[in-house]
Amino acid sequence: MRLPDEPDIPPQINIVPMIDVIFAILTFFIMSTLFLTRQEGLPVNLPRASTSQQSQVPTRITITVDSQAQVSLNKKPTTIDALTEQVRGLVGANPEAVVVINADQGVGHGKVVAVMDKVRQVKGARLAIATQKQ
């Protein structure tokens, strides 16, 4: 019940608390993304050189075995028999080459082992199998 002496105050929306909440959420996301970066070493000031190269990322070769047991090398269809020579050509003289096998979970064990065997015949190729985190 209002008293007759009170003036009519128009309704207002106070946005200051909402701005505080938005800034708190923004701060949280900024701080959490800082911890998602992967550190390869300690922070140092590196010297400059005119002949320097960008960070040397190892060559990554991807072999995919899909659910129909079709084999692809870097998204190009191939056969298991031709895999050794093709991987050898891609690895070349790069001792840091990593061959990643992406095999569908429905593919038979024998097919994946055959692909692994062909990759192991290439000298200097390091083998990895891709999985999903549970």
**Read out DSSP for the chain?**
---TTSPPPPP----HHHHHHHHHHHHHHHHHHHTTSPP-S----PPP-TT--S--PPPEEEEEE-TT--EEETTEEE-HHHHHHHHHHHHTT-TT-EEEEEE-TTS-HHHHHHHHHHHHTSTT-EEEE-----
Closest CA to 61 of 106, 113, 23, 115: 115
Domain ranges of the chain: 60-129
Structure confidence at residue 22 as a pLDDT band (50, 70, 90): very high
pTM: 0.55
Measure the CA–CA gap between 49 and 125, rounded to whole angstroms. Answer: 31
CATH C-level class of 60-129: alpha beta
Give CA angle at 44 (43, 46), nearest 5°.
135
In the chain, what percentage of residues exceed pLDDT 90? 8
- d(Cα 102, Cα 89) in Å, to the nearest integer? 20
Q: Which residue has the higher pLDDT, 30 or 90?
A: 30
Tell me the pLDDT tens digit for each residue of 33-59: 877 765 545 565 566 766 655 555 567
pLDDT in tens, 56-98: 556 788 888 887 888 888 888 888 888 888 888 887 767 677 8
Q: What mean pLDDT comes out for the span 14-21?
A: 90
